[in-house]
Amino acid sequence: MTPASDPALLTALMEAAADAVIIADQHGRIMRANPATARLFGYSEGALVGERVNILMPAALADLHDGFMAHHLATGEQRIIGKGRNVEGKRQDGTIFPLHLSVGRADIDGEPVFIGILHDLTERHIAEEVLARSQRLDAVGQLTGGIAHDFNNLLTVIIGNLELLQMRGADERQRGLIDDALASAELGADLTSRLLVFARKGKLKPVQVDLREQCQDALALLSRTIGARYTIRTDFAPRVSKVMIDPVQLQSALINLALNARDAMPDGGEFLISIADVIIDDDYMAQETDIVPGEYVRLFISDDGAGMTLEAQRKAFEPFFTTKANRGGTGLGLAMVYGFVRQSGGHITLYSELGHGTSFGLYFPAVRDARSAEDAMKVVTSDPIPRGSAEVVLVVEDNPRVRKLSIERIRDLGYRTLEAPNGDDAYVLLQSGIEVDIIFSDLVMPGTLNGYDLAAKVRAEFPTVRILLTSGYASDVVTSKLGGTSDYDVLHKPYRQSDLAERLQALL
């Protein structure tokens, strides 16, 4: 290798690196940044050269950076040189995200040069958060189950003694006191039985059932009790696999979710129940749902009510957490639903947007014989996933984690990507003259333009651009609220990579 080939080798290494690599001078000015850096921080390629590295840091760290550099150059003290540490980065759109930073120093022609390698920790943090939440619920479940079991023993003694007193000829006054005590003890027993369901120690009686039939039975009861101001719609697939569940617990779960939906719509509204088979067969969907790949029957319950805050979503399945304490809420309804689904071998997901409603997804393992399961997987894997040819997809999504995942999925399919955090920014990008083949946009976003509004503007002003919308709701229960129509294709979250690939190809 000749010295003349060194710059070419450096360029090849920089471009091949999956992590961000930045080379900066002693004044913190960026001399080189590889393509992965531009993608990670949301800049166009080459835009960072000449900028200060502070531009990639949150304000608090950016203010301290120059002092760190001056101290190192003056003293030679190596606090972080040659070491790695976790820090935060700032993208061009202002979003803050976690990074692992390693810094090295080299002296070239007597001048110090600093090399930074940055690895995005977003996905790791998400996985750790999901694991921590699952472990917390498991720990709470074990504690709850033990307490409920002990209380059941105490209540058995209390109820037994009260019944003995009742049978031994208590007078009228004593019978009244005994009846009140028995009623309270029975309420306590009911409470502990619900806690045992959350702890996954309830006594389930699973049988093979069709979810559609079970839902129809529950709806017959709900339609008489939920009130005339509420509309219940159903969207059942014509063919659905059987599942092994306890029908009584399923109906209890459905009623709990429906009553929650009603409470979220005090002035009336609509909720929808959707049932269909799904096959989770790729890493992306498993990551979104935290489910082991396989065949499932998915039951979606969506409403167009008030929605939930992020804090409420994080605690929704914990026992005794409630946003309705002033209205008599106990905080056990969703905890029971969670425990029942998990004890049935399934999983539950929650998607909500403030002001636009909530959607729960209940996934139950499909019951199939070995041959039919094998045939189903052959059908799924027989056709190759269609790929793009470097067409440009503009990803419009306000959730940074979802936006990053969507970009990864689309790039894996052979497309190039641009991104915008909301409909307003996406419209500005289009007006600036950028070339886009497809817009892949969420429906519910902050700002003046929701997904439908953006789609309408694109159709009117940029007719050659194709549009694919996506929603976390079971079906578009928020269409009327957003002023949309059924004219646009909507891909419902969570979706498989093959579903995304086929929809994108169909548009082209």
Instruction: Grade residue 467 by pLDDT with cuts at 50, 70 and 90.
Output: very high
Q: What is the mean pLDDT of residues 27-49?
A: 87
The C-alpha atoms of residue 263 and residue 358 are separated, in whole angstroms, by: 12
* Domain at 3-120, CATH homologous superfamily: PAS domain (3.30.450.20)
User: Which pLDDT band holds residue 465 (cuts at 50, 70, 90)?
Assistant: very high
Q: What is the CATH number of domain 207-380?
A: 3.30.565.10
Map 140-198 to HEC letters.
HHHHHHHHHHHHHHHHHHHHHHHHHHHHCCCCHHHHHHHHHHHHHHHHHHHHHHHHHHH
Domain boundaries, the chain: 3-120, 125-198, 207-380, 384-507
* Angle at alpha carbon of residue 180, lines to 178 and 184, rounded to 5°: 115
Per-residue pLDDT reduced to its tens digit, 347-368: 888 888 787 788 888 999 998 7
Instruction: Read off the pLDDT of each residue in 85-95 and give the average, rounded to a whole number.
Output: 84
What does the pLDDT average to over 160-170?
74
Tell me the CATH architecture of domain 384-507. 3-Layer(aba) Sandwich (3.40)
> Which residues share a beta bridge with 358?
303, 352
For the whole model, what pTM was predicted? 0.54
* Burial class of residue 450, CB neighbours in 10 A (0-12, 13-18, 19+): buried
Chain centroid, CA 331 distance in Å: 22
**Per-residue pLDDT tens for 263-305?**
778 787 888 888 888 887 766 666 666 677 888 999 988 888 8
The CATH number of 125-198 is which of 3.30.870, 3.40.50, 1.10.287, 3.30.70?
Answer: 1.10.287
